[in-house]
Amino acid sequence: MSTATPQKFEFQAEIKQLLDIVIHSLYTHKEIFVRELVSNAADALEKLRHTQLTEKTVADDTLELAISVTTDDKAKTITIQDSGVGMTRAELIENLGTIAHSGSKQFLKSLAPVSGEAPAGQDSASARANLIGQFGVGFYSAFMVAQRVRVYSRSWRVDEPAHVWTSDGSGSYEIEEVSDQTRGTKLVIELKDDCAEYASDSQIKGILERYSAFVSFPINLNGKRVNTVQALWLRAKNEIKDEEYTEFYKFQAHAFDEPRLRLHFSADAPISINALLFVPQDNTEKFGFARAEPSVALYCRKVLIDAQPKDLLPEWLRFLKGVVDSEDLPLNISRETMQDRTLIEKLNKVITKRFLKFLDEEAKHRPDAYAGFYAEFGLFLKEGAAMDHTHKEQLVKLLRFESSLTEKGKTTSLADYVSRLGADQKEIYYLVGPNRAAIESGPYLEGFKARNLEVLFCYESVDEYVMSHVREFDGRKLTAADHADVKLADLPKPEGALSADDTKTLTTWLKATLGERVAEVKASDRLVDSPALALNADKFMSPHMRRMMKAMNKDAADSPLRVNLEINPRSAVMKRLFETHTAAPDKAKLVAEQILDNALISAGLLDDATPMVARLYKLLESV
């Protein structure tokens, strides 16, 4: 039935309630209405595309499939027009006047193969995938900003007349037949006075670019095309060129560099995901910039849900850029506030696992690219290895270190380290130091070298923390090589060392001479060339940690430092000191003090070097 005069309808009671909620509280950002209405227009166009495939005659068959948005800041209106399926009079009433009715939902149902019929083909499947539906309230979001909404619509069905649906959102709407309307729907929104900003071209442009950049149909704002980038993540990998990926990355991440790595994948179970992830060239946190914000955006069928979703990825993946799109997101109330945490958790799990697998493959098949990535972003993997128990095992495998067996600049994994171990080695040794030269010239390494034990070199201040949290790998304990508890196997005693008795005499004298500065003095089995080394007597605080604590808290009273001094009875310095300590005790005392200071310097434990200067001058006098 059609009428020539306006006919008035009351909204269902539920709709009135719904409108009240929508207008007053459902959406926190009013601008969302643009996204909802543009999504409806895109849905209608997608439906039309499908209809054109299945129906012989469609009204205005040659119309371009596009969305046109126009703003008029004088009249304070925004108009959104599409050339999609349109609505008949009955559909206007049903779709815009009935609660919890989703036309898209029904459309989806109509696409599903009915039992007994041939299964729906490729086209209906992709049409289904492209429909943004499932919401009950999208259209009503217009009333957040509108004092009146007019919906002009003409169905694709050739014989149906066009109508205009009008409402101020308070309690009723009117429908009237109109002429001069081409196929599709035109929404004219008369803005409330305090929402006049949405009649501004630049304002709407920003909103469209943000939320609707990847909508498949052209969107023209006041005659100018706004969306030019494709939703690359939904296309087949083998059809995409490297340059397209790079261009997409630059657009999506607002970046200027070339991505270092990329991962493009899709999954169906346990949840539908299309993801396109990028690792940028540089780690910006490294330059002392602020902590990176999560910036893998979450989409549902090409429409932005959240540009910076908090829990989509674990913290340590905050350097990633890109897009995750899932059709399974429950959007029945609002796309904006996601209530279903478990869904996000599922997404998180699948993506993280897949990305870790990707890194593992990169490390295997493209070791140079991986090394480059690791040099830049390894810190994040370390953070994850130390903090993220769920993924610790995978992450630890991805860590890389230089070692006493690698060349400078080359690294080894823990798995490779273990593969080189002797049968009786139960521990994985590491040394923390500022760089390779410092570790190699220090006294701690030589005992391990002499016994052919590989030692990992750690140069970053977090390494100590990471190693102590990772604790073990492949059943072997990660052990600091400069730890006082480390026991090394005996080496054959070389010729010309101080005798056991003389050594004992010397260590006793040293303890007496150095007094409180040392907890213990003993002969060492770690030393080969160096005369002495210092080991922190405090089990719970490594030299590195102690330095960090001091750096963080300069004014705190220094905890008195006590070390164990280990001496090398084979060293010429110790042999000479043994002779001097009776012949010239004063000079020997100066030498003993200096040996301790030297050992403390190597250990990174010397707090104050000034007494050393005066002492050295005294020693120099006697040369």
Residues that bind ligand ADP (CB under 6 A): 36, 40-41, 43-44, 82, 84-87, 95-96, 102-104, 133-139, 185
Interface pick for Mg ion out of 31, 32, 40, 359 (rule CB under 5 A): 40
Closest distance between Mg ion and the C-beta of residue 354, in Å? 31
* Residues 40, 301: Cα–Cα separation, whole Å: 12
Closest CB to ligand ADP among residues 144, 253: 144
Closest distance between ligand ADP and the C-beta of residue 3, in Å? 21
Question: Which sign, positive or negative, has the C-alpha torsion 47, 50, 56, 60?
Answer: positive
Closest CB to Mg ion among residues 40, 252: 40
User: What are the structure tokens assigned to 113, written together?
Assistant: 């193969």
Residue 604 interaction partner, one of Mg ion, ligand ADP, none, beta carbon < 5-8 Å per kind: none
Closest CB to ligand ADP among residues 135, 417: 135
Residue 87 interaction partner, one of Mg ion, ligand ADP, none, beta carbon < 5-8 Å per kind: ligand ADP
Taking CB under 5 A as the rule, does residue 138 contact Mg ion?
yes
Helix (H) or strand (E) holding 577, with range, is helix 572-583
User: What are the structure tokens assigned to 326, written together?
Assistant: 């899932």
CA angle 520/521/526 to nearest 5° reads 115
Residue nearest to ligand ADP (CB): 103
Instruction: Give SS3 for 519.
Output: strand
Provide the 8-state DSSP code for 401.
B
Report CA-CA distances (Å) from 204 to 34, 77, 370: 8, 12, 42
Q: Contact at 8 Å (CB) between 84 and 40?
A: no
Residue nearest to Mg ion (CB): 138
Give the residue among 234, 241, 188 at the shortest CA–CA distance from 214.
234
Closest CB to ligand ADP among residues 38, 273: 38
Closest distance between ligand ADP and the C-beta of residue 51, in Å? 11
Residue 568 interaction partner, one of Mg ion, ligand ADP, none, beta carbon < 5-8 Å per kind: none
Residue 433 interaction partner, one of Mg ion, ligand ADP, none, beta carbon < 5-8 Å per kind: none
Residue 480 interaction partner, one of Mg ion, ligand ADP, none, beta carbon < 5-8 Å per kind: none
Cα of 178 vs its chain's centroid, Å: 53
Closest distance between ligand ADP and the C-beta of residue 329, in Å? 13
Residue 378 interaction partner, one of ligand ADP, Mg ion, none, beta carbon < 5-8 Å per kind: none
Cα of 498 vs its chain's centroid, Å: 59
Taking CB under 5 A as the rule, does residue 84 contact Mg ion?
no
Residue 26 interaction partner, one of ligand ADP, Mg ion, none, beta carbon < 5-8 Å per kind: none
Q: Residue written as tokens 């909204």?
A: 11
Residue 137 interaction partner, one of ligand ADP, Mg ion, none, beta carbon < 5-8 Å per kind: ligand ADP
* Residues 416, 378: Cα–Cα separation, whole Å: 18
Closest distance between ligand ADP and the C-beta of residue 147, in Å? 19
Instruction: Give SS3 for 233.
Output: helix
Closest distance between Mg ion and the C-beta of residue 43, in Å? 6
Report CA-CA distances (Å) from 551 to 275, 547, 555, 605: 43, 6, 9, 13
Closest distance between ligand ADP and the C-beta of residue 344, in Å? 21
CA angle 79/83/88 to nearest 5° reads 90
* Residues 283, 120: Cα–Cα separation, whole Å: 47
Closest distance between ligand ADP and the C-beta of residue 360, in Å? 41
Closest CB to ligand ADP among residues 149, 458: 149
